[in-house]
Amino acid sequence: MLHIRSSYLSNPTPLTPRTRTKHQLYFNVSSAAALFAFGCGAEDGSTSPLPMFGAEGMREVPSALPAGDVVQPEVTPGSSGTPEVVDPNQTGLDTTNTGVVPLSPGCMDGASGAMPGCAEGTPGSEPMEIGGPGVSPVASNATPQARNLLSYLYSTYGQKMLSGQMESTWMPGGADYEINYVQTTTGKLPAVRGLDFIDYDGVAERAISWWVLGGIPNIRWHWGAPTRGVGYEASQEEVDIERVLTPGTAEHTAMMAGLDRTALELTKLRDANVPVLWTPFHELNGDWFWWGKGTPEQFVRLWRFMFEYFDGAKGLNNLIWVLGYTGQPDGDWYPGGEYVDIAGADSYGQTDSPQLGMFDAVRNIVGAEMPVSYHECGIIPNPELAQAQGAHWSWFMTWHTDWLTDENTTAHLNAVYDHEFVITLDELPDLH
């Protein structure tokens, strides 16, 4: 079923979309081009009064994020020419317009004691050792922040589910459209912010800002097929993957240029000490993106090539590698535990089912220990059912625009964000 929503249109440019099940339109406002994308979703557009945070031990969050800005940190050039995040307390960053008090994330839940990963009963304490011994990212010499993040996800796995929200960039309010909607509707912010290198502009900066605010950035990449251009439509083009993997071909040269361009952005995050839930080649075993149009063996080589290039040549040791299946996980496409930190799957069903079968299908491939994420969704899984049935997703990632505002009712959003099983940004420990 194709979802074409009039709210995506920035002008009345006629559309001639290619039909695909469960796709929605992905618009680039600057060109008014319609680009397909998968997505997650409130039935009415009403808003509720915004409760204020600031209880003892909890971080105060903005009463409303300004349009197009997510409490941007002040950035100064580092010696290497890459951004260096400066503590707002040291720079006099003005937060008066957002209601933000630039505090380190607290570790105390005023109602029930210590949050996961914090010393019991100690507001604002440094994070305790979390995740247990032996939990380490697959990245070589992983940064402390990446280790903290993965350890935290292991510590909450099976106990809690983190909230996540994908951003768009073309709606009123810019890239904060969805974040503002969630906060206005529920009074809370998601723990994980989803971003996309389909357009590099501002992505790294928003990811850094989200980390400074106390949240977790998750970045995917709608990568245009090498030699076929950029953007969503290009990501669906077919290309000879064997040639992509063969040095000396035009396809290989184009692939390397794409990897280098993306590595440049990820390096900004590494140099700012920001870990990333990195989700390349999402929906890998589907047949709609170029990386899924070949054989499982070719995909495994492609994944491992990116991993080894980013980890070795580029030194991107701030990445948590997230493998994102479709709703039908297939073990033949698994690159191996030494290349993957977290695995997941996605679905755009018409109910709030926790999708236990899909959850178990991923676990049957990666085992019972590795956290499993609902890396994209339409209607957010019912946390009560997820907890009762044992569909213990590490996090969910609601897709953007109408998937959020039309597919999920405001009542459902409030039930999810208020549920004790769900972690929101204000409940995250200090992972810095």
Are 226 and 233 in contact by the 8 Å Cβ rule? The answer is: no
Burial class for 132, CB neighbours closer than 10 Å (0-12, 13-18, 19+) = exposed
165: region left, alpha or beta (phi > 0 left; psi from -120 to 50 alpha): beta
Cα-based distances in Å from 167 to 131, 149, 176: 29, 21, 7
Q: How far apart are CA 192 and CA 212, in angstroms?
A: 13
Helix then strand count (H, E) for the chain reads 12, 16
CB within 8 Å of 152: residues ≥ 6 apart: 116, 117, 127, 130, 131, 429, 431
Pseudo-torsion of CA 336, 342, 372, 129, nearest 10°? 130
Calculate ∠ Cα 51-52-57, nearest 5°. 130
**Radius of gyration for the chain, computed over Cα atoms and rounded to the nearest angstrom:** 20
Choosing from 167, 376, 407, 427, the catalytic residue is 376
Cα-based distances in Å from 70 to 100, 148, 214: 11, 23, 12
CB atoms within 10 A of CB 103: 15
Q: How far apart are CA 408 and CA 381, in angstroms?
A: 10
Phi, psi of 212 (to 5 degrees): -60, -35
Q: How far apart are CA 382 and CA 410, in angstroms?
A: 13
Choosing from 251, 283, 407, 427, the catalytic residue is 283
Residue 283 annotated to the active site: yes
Q: How far apart are CA 253 and CA 19, in angstroms?
A: 31
Length of the chain: 432
Closest-CA residue to 166 (of 326, 417, 395, 415): 395
Q: How far apart are CA 422 and CA 416, in angstroms?
A: 7
Residue 376 annotated to the active site: yes
Are 159 and 130 in contact by the 8 Å Cβ rule? The answer is: no
Are 210 and 272 in contact by the 8 Å Cβ rule? The answer is: no
Residues labelled as active-site residues: 283, 376
